[in-house]
Amino acid sequence: FVYAGVRVADGALQQVQVGGDYFQSRAGQAAVQGQLRGCAIDGTLIGRAINDVYRDPRHVIEGLRHMDSLRAVILSAAEQASAHA
């Protein structure tokens, strides 16, 4: 499983924390958090940012069947946070 906690402001991600029962390198986690900071709450843009990070072989992620699950939980958390902001 995968979960995400986000902070949003002005329609953009300000902070992203993800976790679950998978493994990712610390460098990958830091890179994805940095890449998503300031990203608009848009599934396509979030997916592109995630793909850009994990395309780099230095950023290891294992245990996810579909990378889209990471995008989906971040987008869902962002939409919920935005609705309550």
H or E segment at 48?
helix 43-54
Residues of the chain falling short of pLDDT 70: none
Q: What's residue 60's pLDDT? A: 84
Q: What are phi and psi of 64, to 5 degrees?
A: -100, 130
Residue recorded with tokens 């995968």: 2
Please tell me the pTM assigned to this model.
0.91
